Amino acid sequence: TSLKTLNSVLIEKKEQLLLVIFVILILLIIVSSVMYLVEKEAQPEAFSSIPATMWWAVITLTTVGYGDIYPITPLGKFLGAIIAFLGIGMFAIPAGILSSGLVETIQGKNRISLKAKRGTKNITLSQNEIEELSKDKNSIKKLKEELKIKIKELESLEKE
């Protein structure tokens, strides 16, 4: 069920994640172009073209830092440091989106379960809660069982 939960979060947050990927790709193109312009004269063999510089940009944005290509000019080093910090932020954003989606999903399931356990006569579910239940057939079965128990409890209270 953990993979199902993760899959539903990925589907739910698809637009936000695609936007972040798009921004990362734009950032990759921009930083590769800028670094190429800054370093091409000092290191024409290492920064031979913008596509070749993209290797350096990917390694720097992901903070891997192999060290096979690196800037040697003062401006290049300064830009490299800024780009490394941008990379940390750009890859932290999708992690935040996924974690908030997981928290929302888990809290939604807990709310549904709590409503069923309270045993109130009028259990109302929001549209999001209904959609969440429809994704997980086991949750529907469990909720039905809990509701049957609560209905029996309420009926026994009414008879008294």
Does the structural domain 2-117 have CATH classification 3.20.20.70? no
CA 85, CA 108: separation in Å to the nearest integer?
35
| Bigger pLDDT: 156 vs 128 | 156
Domain range summary for the chain, segments of one domain joined by +: 2-117
Per-residue model confidence as pLDDT tens digits over 99-132: 998 888 887 766 666 666 665 555 566 666 666 6
> CA 146: distance to chain centroid?
33
Q: How many CB atoms lie within 10 A of CB 149?
A: 13
pTM of the model: 0.64
**CA 40 to CA 53: how far, in whole Å?**
9
How do residues 19-30 score in pLDDT, each as one tens digit?
Answer: 999 999 999 999
